[in-house]
Amino acid sequence: MTTLSRLRHRWAALLLVASALLLMGAVNGNPRFDRLGHNLMCECGCGQVLLECNHVGCTTSEQMRSELKAAIESGESDDAVLAGFVSKYGPAVLSAPTKSGFNLVAWIMPFAIFVLAVGVVIVVVRAWKRRAAPAQLLQMPQPDADLDEYRRRARKETEL
């Protein structure tokens, strides 16, 4: 290959990688928009984060994104932007519950349930270990006389 064709291939590969990164959203000019957009849920019913809503022609996500962009450009603080979305769409628009009031239960309960489950498992395992084995399992089975006769015959028939 000539140097010119190698250069063209490299530029084409670089352009392909840059396009892929741009389409994936890895290259974005406003990290605040990304941060706030990932703290909000799309209200079209898809259950996805606002910036991750991938429905073709989803007008709800486009409208919400433009509202978010306008709120950021107006100079509102992050808390004010989120409060505005909560007042318009309700608390379900937040991707994570707030860490105050009754919503604090949503943060505490998973850990509390985990600790409770571990405690129950420990109690059950200790109870199983303390339980006495049944008497019939402790007795060794007595060899059957017929079994001994079959073993003797097998040894005799397999001798060389």
User: pLDDT digit string (tens) for 75-134?
Assistant: 888 888 888 888 888 888 888 777 777 778 888 899 999 999 999 999 999 988 887 666
In a domain, 127, yes or no: yes
In a domain, 3, yes or no: no
In a domain, 158, yes or no: yes
How far is residue 32 from each of residues 5, 73, 128, measured CA to CA in Å?
41, 11, 55
Contact 58, 46 (CB under 8 A): yes
- What is the domain extent for residue 135? 103-160
Q: Which residue has the higher pLDDT, 142 or 53?
A: 53
Residue 103 CA, distance from chain mean position: 20
* pLDDT tops 70 at residue 1: no
What rounded mean pLDDT belongs to the chain?
80
Query: Total domain count for the chain?
Result: 1
In a domain, 153, yes or no: yes
In a domain, 92, yes or no: no
